[in-house]
Amino acid sequence: MIYFIADLHLSADRPDITACFLSFLKNDAPQATQLYILGDLFEYWVGDDDDSVFVNTIATTLKQLADNGTKLFFIHGNRDFLLGKKYAKKAGLILLPETHLIDLFGQKALIMHGDTLCTRDVDYQKFRKKSRSWWWQFIIKSLPLKTRKKIAANYRKKSTQAKQIKSLEIMDVTQSEVKKQLTNTQSLLLIHGHTHRPNEHHFYLNNDVNAPQATRIVLGDWYEQGAWLKVTADKIELLNKHFE
């Protein structure tokens, strides 16, 4: 059994989400042999030197799960792309590249956070390119932790305002980019998060109705409830866990 989650946006400001996630890690996740976290585990990440009780609690609980036999994999999201090797080691996470192919019970599956699929969001893609550069990250990481937290809070505010202006179409994936990624990796299954629109989409890569269909599975966010994808050799299910 393999689980996939994304877009938890954990923060000290939302103890309900944190409580739901900790419950998931202790009661649900141990059933899985592997847990893939496909980005935005945290609402923001300003550096591995953040030694707050909040981030350490998450790390400790994740590490316990890993030590008990569940392999934990992590792909960076657009909010926590600065999460580094130090915290990953503390939490028992295996860091993966931003796009990664896995064998899912005999089927090739492409996994990613999903922000690179939203090519129509030009402003975001420009920021993404800059923020992934070594020089930008060097400058940011050189700043005091308190300053980095202020910058992150300001970015969150601007991001929220931008979402109110941008159309839903712009913030969703571009289908041609989806097909491009699947074609390039010769896979028919894509699993991602980022758009917060949990669903399962079926389509043809080359408009050939006689060819096998491709599938795109979108993971849900954790703003109102826990959400994860459960995959076994026989079934794929999007599941929910309501806040207590």
CATH of segment(s) 2-242: 3.60.21.10
pLDDT of residue 208: 73
In degrees and rounded to multiples of 5, residue 75 shows phi and psi of -115, 130
**Of the candidates 91, 90, 77, which has an alpha carbon nearest to the alpha carbon of residue 38?**
77
Residues 6+ apart with CB under 8 A from 89: none
Domain boundaries of the chain, sorted by first residue: 2-242
pLDDT of residue 174: 95
134-142 and 145-165 helices, crossing angle to 10°: 130
**Of the candidates 131, 102, 115, which has an alpha carbon nearest to the alpha carbon of residue 178?**
115
Would you give the DSSP letter of residue 24? Answer: I
**Residue 198, Cβ neighbours under 10 Å: how many?**
18
The one-digit pLDDT tens for each residue of the chain (244 residues) are 999 999 999 999 999 999 999 999 999 999 999 999 999 999 999 999 998 999 999 999 999 999 999 999 999 999 999 999 999 999 999 999 999 999 999 999 999 999 999 999 998 999 999 999 999 999 999 999 889 988 888 877 777 666 666 666 777 999 999 999 999 999 999 999 999 999 999 999 887 777 789 999 999 999 999 999 999 999 999 998 887 6
Indicate the pTM of the whole model. Answer: 0.94
